[in-house]
Amino acid sequence: MVESLSPSDPRQVGPYRIEGRLGQGGMGSVFLGTSPAGRSVAVKLIRREFAAAPQFRERFAREVEAARRVGGFHTAQVVDADPEAASPWLVTEFIAGPTLRQLVTEQGPLPADAVLRLGAGLAEGLVAIHKCALVHRDLKPGNVILAPDGPRIIDFGIAHAPDTGTMTHTGTLIGTYAYMSPEQIRTPADVTPACDVFSLGSVLTFAATGRSPFDASNVPAIIHRVTGEPPVLTGLDGHPGLHQLVSTCLAKDPAARPSAADLLHRLSTTAAPPVAPLPPVPSAPPVAAPTDPAAKPVGRRALMIGGIAAAATAAVAVPAYLLWPEDAPASDRKPTSKGGSTPRPSASRTATRPVAQLTGHTQDISCLAFAPDGSTLATGAQDKTLRLWDAGAGRSIATLEGHTENVMAVVYSRDGRTLFTGGFDKTLRSWDVRSGAPKRVITTYEGEYDSVNCLAISPDGKTLAVGVGSRVELVSPATGRARATLTGHTGSMGWVAFSPDGATVASVAADLKEGTIRLWNARTGRLTKTLTADRKKNYSQVTFSEDGATLIANGAGVRLWDVDAGRSTRTLTDQHEYVLAAAYRPGKPGHGVIAGAGGYVEMEGVDTVGRSVTLWSMSTGEVTATLIGGPSKSALRASIPAVAFSPDGKTLAGVLNPAADADGVEPSVQLWKLP
């Protein structure tokens, strides 16, 4: 979709007249332009501040060269470029059509036969790329344009020749985690064509289900799933051929994956028969069709991709505050898997249902936080919005818009008047809680992978701990200036927390050296302790007990640490293989309670594991209750990636994100009232 130009947008780039805006990313913008001869072109303009880095200019020049080497049959043909301009630019042919992400987001997942044809077109493109001794390294739904004659792979900004040095630097990774291969995450310098094949498997899963097979609400959880868990392919069970094809692409071992050429050969014999040519997609500029389709043969690429636009239109979500109805009768329940495994009952001592749920977000919810007085609740989601809720009345107060990518972190100021948020768009922002209006963009980070993953605010309210990229910055909310930068983590930041006295900052990340917690002096930024255990898996979150004596880190169970002694005292476990979220219940001195939640399991029948929150007693380590999100007897499969207690400890809020096959079920926040 072409948007109108803003006052700050250029009207001319080189000899090309700028007509409208096509999109925007962290590095720059893409505009619709017109050549001197009147030809429509796409103009990629890099932000001036990035052009000052020699490394970035090298990367941009390589993008131009890579796109030229592959050619225009599988990509957008390069028309012109100036890598040496003050703001470097690249001009390609304009391809009328939506990205795969746009199409699936707006119209829903594609039928299996259309996914196979899409796979054939993308495999053909990868064959051409790999023949040029290149690895794309960033194949994802947003980098696939569905042109009338077949899919085009775009954005060669990070394409890599295996015999050249890496363009990354310590602690950063290029690519989008949910579509990256395990080896690209672990050793980004050692990429091979097998990385692109893995990404293709993830892209085809997205096309068929609307989600990545490793989808999660935060980067550490995604990395954990990509590197250590099997893909979630629910939704592909009805088409064994597609399921098997994607499974082979997603093998953890690169040597076990087929080549792009093998995939193309296989798809050319298994793809569905030809169907009608692709009709115009509502979100794309109209494309002229032949006046007599029967008089002109349909091209091979059109046959492979034709029919994709016939996907069903997605339903529009309506915000609501709902009380759960009575449990659905057994006759209304449907099995969630066609596998032959025996149903595994949830290990629950007490199944306590939520009193209410908050709905309104249209994509998975990533984060939530209570206001200091407990009056409001804030949530951020992958739909790029924030929502403010009246926690008592359970009604939506406001929808906050401004982030251009997934909102990943949210925290209130100590007086509850300001909301601080961070996102995948590399911005740290502030909002007025009473009006819902944006205050300002506090900071825009410029590193290649500087998403703002997590936030915490000091007890005195004067410092924000910002987990950005693979570091923590201690930032003044008033000025946006960082007074200290805490470095040492080797992966994307997962969580930060201040001790109750404000003297210590604790942090965890998706480190290469797994299972590490770092403690920092909050005043000087100096590393004071490093806590390590069995190092089997990284921690997802970390938080302090109310008295500051105990540190709580969740991951493969919930591990309790004696802060002063620097030793582990207990590990709490339940039915979750990996605890994605945990929180400490305030207001109960001497009777500490921890809540922990995780992801769903693949099984037949009713699975409440993913929808459950476990409550443990800190003093005994015993499970005191199990809370179930959603109707307790329904077949809904979902995960709970974030939990938070109200300041008085009487209400627990938990994010409930449905699995990919949960048609018509919206992401929600579940509210439980606790005794």
Element (H, E) at 656: strand 651-658
Which structure tokens are listed for 224?
A: 């954990």
How far from the centroid of its chain's Cα atoms is residue 553's Cα? 22
How far is Cα 191 from Cα 183, in angstroms, rounded to an integer? 7
Eight-class DSSP state of 173: -
Active site includes 138? yes
Which structure tokens are listed for 238?
A: 């009805």
How far is Cα 486 from Cα 464, in angstroms, rounded to an integer? 13
Q: Which residue bears the tokens 């299996």?
A: 112
Query: Dmax of the chain from CA atoms?
Result: 82
> Does the CA dihedral 138-140-145-151 come out positive or negative?
positive
Which structure tokens are listed for 290?
A: 């032949």
Name the residue among 626, 622, 616, 542 with its Cα closest to residue 581.
542
How far is Cα 125 from Cα 199, in angstroms, rounded to an integer? 13
Binding residues: 44
Which structure tokens are listed for 131?
A: 């023949």
Q: Is 308:276 a contact under the CB 8 Å cutoff?
A: no
How far is Cα 309 from Cα 108, in angstroms, rounded to an integer? 10
Q: Is 239:180 a contact under the CB 8 Å cutoff?
A: no
Residues making up the chain, counted from first to last: 675
Eight-class DSSP state of 260: H
In sequence order, the β-bridge partners of residue 444 are 427
Name the residue among 515, 524, 574 with its Cα closest to residue 542.
515
Choosing from 138, 149, 511, 661, which is the catalytic residue? 138
Binding residues for ATP: 44
Which structure tokens are listed for 528?
A: 């004071």
How far from the centroid of its chain's Cα atoms is residue 609's Cα? 22
* Counts of helices then strands in the chain (DSSP H, E): 10, 39
Which structure tokens are listed for 80?
A: 């012109």
Strands 623-628 and 351-352: parallel
Eight-class DSSP state of 197: H
How far is Cα 661 from Cα 338, in angstroms, rounded to an integer? 13
Name the residue among 600, 591, 594, 588 with its Cα closest to residue 641.
600
How far is Cα 19 from Cα 3, in angstroms, rounded to an integer? 9
| Phi, psi (degrees; rounded to nearest 5) at 76 | -90, 125
> What is the amino acid identity at position 650?
K
Active site residues: 138
